[in-house]
Structures are given as structure tokens and as C-alpha cells.
Amino acid sequence: MDATPRLLRAGDTCWRVEKADRLAVIVDAADYFTMLREVMQNARHSVIMIGWEFDTRITLDPREDADGVPNRLGRFLSWLVRRRPDLNIYLLQWDVGLLATLARGSTPLRLVDWMIGRRIRMKLDHVHPSGAAHHQKIIVIDDALAFCGGIDATADRWDTSEHEEDSPFRVRPTSKRPYGPWHDATTAVDGNVARALGELARTRWEHATGERLPPPPAVPPLWPENLEPLLRDAEVAISRTIPAHAGREEVHEIEALYLAIIAATRRTLYIESQYFASRTLAEAIATRLTEPDGPEIVVINPETAEGWLEEKAMGSARARLLRLVRKADIHDRFRLYTPVASKGTPIYVHAKIVIMDDTLMRVGSSNLNNRSLGFDTECDLSVEAVPGGTGEDAVRMKIAGFGITLLAEHLDVETQTVAQAIHAASGSLIGAIEALRGSGRSLVPFEPPEFGVIGDDILRENDLLDPERPARRWPFS
């Protein structure tokens, strides 16, 4: 019997494992939006865009607007279908997410036109339990190329990996008011994984609209010339969260994979997440921290959650769970850091990344909160270096290298410097981070603010904002 069984198991920790001819991780939205603008020009038959929110006014590349191709998302999509007579574009957005778009003064006439259009069709997905959200972020082009991760094509997302303190390009679409640094990530895949994500996207469309979309005809590969694959011929797992609703069975592959990863980590578990608010996962982490030879665990979070209400509920949950985890951390192997820009401005962490040792890498839409485990729809992609499998050493090297790249960005140093620091710290990720933390762009140890005594009212509020499972009867219905 294999001493290290596979963590990515179809029907348990994932939906399917499919081959990707190429896989890349795109860190931060500047590169992602530029890539979308490039590759969508090659679409022939279908583009399916699934998101929490879309904003037609965003500029895909604010640094470049001189090639004759429209740069604003709405105009760009309209230009595409005029240029490609056989192309259909489908946008599926969470229904409540539209309210945020309109509240920012979006272009309702264009949205209404798309809602009744024939070539560009936008639908609002309200097929979910009361209070739940559709949180997947997926774009599939002709079933030949797909993107899946944490980045929505909406406002306040664009930023480069330098996270400049005062970027002139980081402004809101209409008011031109600046917003702060933003860290995010997504994946690009082709081959059978792209086809599987196309199937997933069409299933979502059918559930939301009742309309079945046919798969597109086969097209040549669409991989962008300037995107260097992290892996080739990779086995990629697709993991989902789907809440029970209207006779549809619940799916908890993401929760199962998180728990399997935490249990299987040998040396280092590195996590980037918007939240740290799941008691289930915090308790699993606490259990590992009590072990004499357990792993180091490093979590990268934003300093605060977005919005006062979110911070009151999610921040209080993080404070409670940090107390639980730190009490269990008797061997001093847990750290929670927040990234800051060169003058100390917090960098908002929206990326959802997990790296387990040098064996497993996971990028998706799910956070370390209750909603992601059982209440909202989510989708993550993972790659595992299978013990004894073909190319195991190469996959391990790439996974480890990706983790080093992320730390180099956060610590504003070269990747070689991070690798040397890890080696000097005898493999300790915490030791390397502590040795490299500086006064400019860097990582800062997180200490929760004082919430006072966390009373029943805040606990109830958190249960409403971040429930573990759909309630049989929503309190506000």
C-alpha cells in the first residue's frame, strides 16, 4: 500500500482529474486582464464568463490604448461579436452582485441591452439558497482555453505585482478615485481541463436559465504566446462547493480537500486567503500544531475585511479563531501575516492559494471561511506531485518555485534571495520570512484589533453572514 496516497481523488476531494496540456498561474489582475484582451480576440464560437460581478466600464489595460482594439470591457465585448459573426458571448453573474455594480454607477443601458441581446447575453443567477452567493470566477473560450481562480472582471481589481503605493492607473472607472493595492490570482489551463470547465460553465448556465448550450466545435489551441506555462501535461483536479438547493445535491469537495491537505502536510502549509473564519479548518490546523513534529503553517490575509459590516463579523471571527490556534501553537509554528506596500499601506489580499510542502498547489475562488465550504458556489483547481508518478520531481520543483515567487513579491526581494533564506533557515518558511521582512513592501505579523467581549449579537451576525450550510428556513425570508 502506498504510504502517501493521492489527495486528489475524484468523487471525494474533487469532481474530476483531467489533463491540461499547459497550466499557468497568473498573479494579479494587470497581467490577467491584459491576457483576456489578447486571447479573447481569437475566440471563434463561444466565450462563457461566470462571475460574482462584472463591470462593463473597467479598462482592461489602462497603460495601453493605442492598438485600435477597445480597452473598456463592455465596448471590447461588443467589438468582438461585430468582428466574429459566429461568436456568442454568455455572461452569468450572481443576481445580488448586480446591485453592487449598479451602486457604483455602472452602465445599466448596456446591461439591459445584453440581457435581451442575441450575440452577447447576460443573465442573473438567482438559483441559490437565500443569502448564498455564486462565487465562482471562470472564463472559458471555445472549450480550448479556460481561466479559473479568484479574479472577477470588475472594478477595484486591477493592480500589478509591484503594488505601487500610488499607482496612477489604480482608479475607479467613472469617478477616477484611487483605490488601494490589490493582490489576486487565477489560473490558465487548456486541454481536457478547459473542456471540463466548459461543461461546468454550461451546467451553471442551464441551472440558472433553463437553456442548454451546446459545446462549441473544436478549434486549434488558443494558448497565449507570452504566457509561460508553469506545468505541461499536468493532471489537474477540479474541486467544487455547491449548496443543496431545489433538489440539487450538495457538493463539499473543497472542504474535503482542505481537511485532507491540512492532515497530510509534512513540513510547510502556505495559504493566501481573504478570510480566516472557518472554525472547522481552524480546529484542524490547531490539531496539527499540537503535534511535536507537525508542520509550520503560514497564512497571508488582508489587514481588514472589506466594509465595516464584514470586518465586524469576519474580523471578530478571525480574532476568536486566532486565539484558538495560538493557544494550540505550543511549538511556535503558526504565523498570520498581512502584506503592506512601500509606505505601509495595506495590500488587500483577495487571492485564494494553498501550497502544501512541494507536493500540492491549489488556486481557486474559495476562502478559509464557512461560506466557501458549504454555502456558496466555488471552484478550485489543484495539481499534485504524485509519489512515484511521471515527472514527480519536476512538478515538485515547479510547486516550490511558485511559492518562492509569491514570497518574493510580498517581501520585495528576488526569488533567489527567498530560496537562499529558506535554505539558511533549514527549510523553515517562518524563519525565512522573519529574516527577510523589511521596512518597505513586506509582510507584517497580524494582531487582531480589540473587539471587546464578543457577545451573542456579533456571533449571531457572523452566523448570518458566514453560515456553514444553507438553513432550512432563512431568518429574513
- Whether the CB-CB separation of 71 and 44 falls below 8 Å is answered with no
| Confidence (pLDDT) at 33 | 97
pLDDT digit of tens for each residue in the chain (477 aa)?
Answer: 345 689 999 999 999 999 999 999 999 999 999 999 999 999 999 999 999 988 888 999 998 766 789 999 999 999 999 999 999 999 999 877 555 555 554 444 455 555 556 789 989 898 888 888 899 999 999 999 999 999 999 999 999 999 999 999 999 998 899 999 999 999 999 999 999 999 999 999 999 999 999 999 999 999 999 999 999 999 999 999 999 998 889 999 999 999 999 999 999 999 999 999 999 999 999 999 999 999 999 999 999 987 544 777 788 889 999 999 999 999 999 999 999 999 999 999 999 999 999 999 999 999 999 999 999 999 999 999 988 777 899 999 999 999 999 999 999 999 999 999 999 999 999 999 999 999 999 999 998 877 555 544 444 445 556 677 675 433 322
Axis crossing angle, helix 415-424 with helix 392-411, rounded to the nearest 10: 100
**DSSP state at residue 65:** -
Measure the CA dihedral 258/196/397/353, to 10°.
Answer: -40
| Confidence (pLDDT) at 475 | 31
| Confidence (pLDDT) at 67 | 76
Domain 24-230: what homologous superfamily?
Answer: Endonuclease Chain A (3.30.870.10)
The second-level CATH assignment, the architecture, of 235-445 is 2-Layer Sandwich (3.30)
Q: Count CA within 13 A, CB hemisphere, residue 428.
A: 14
| Confidence (pLDDT) at 207 | 93
Amino acid at 361: M
Listed in sequence order, the residues at least 6 apart from 473 whose beta carbon sits closer than 8 Å to its beta carbon are: none
24-230 and 235-445 agree in CATH topology = yes
Nearest by Cα to 62 from 172, 161, 164, 226? 172
Nearest by Cα to 273 from 342, 357, 187, 183? 183
Listed in sequence order, the residues at least 6 apart from 459 whose beta carbon sits closer than 8 Å to its beta carbon are: none
| Confidence (pLDDT) at 96 | 73
What are the residue boundaries of the structural domains of the chain, listed by start? Answer: 24-230, 235-445
Chain centroid, CA 259 distance in Å:
18
How far apart CA 346 and CA 181 sit, in angstroms, is 7
How far apart CA 58 and CA 71 sit, in angstroms, is 8
Give the cell for residue 288: 496539527
Give pTM, 2 decimals: 0.93
Residues making up the chain, counted from first to last: 477
Give the cell for residue 246: 431545489
Ramachandran class of 376: left when φ > 0, alpha when ψ lies in -120 to 50, beta otherwise: beta
| Confidence (pLDDT) at 456 | 44
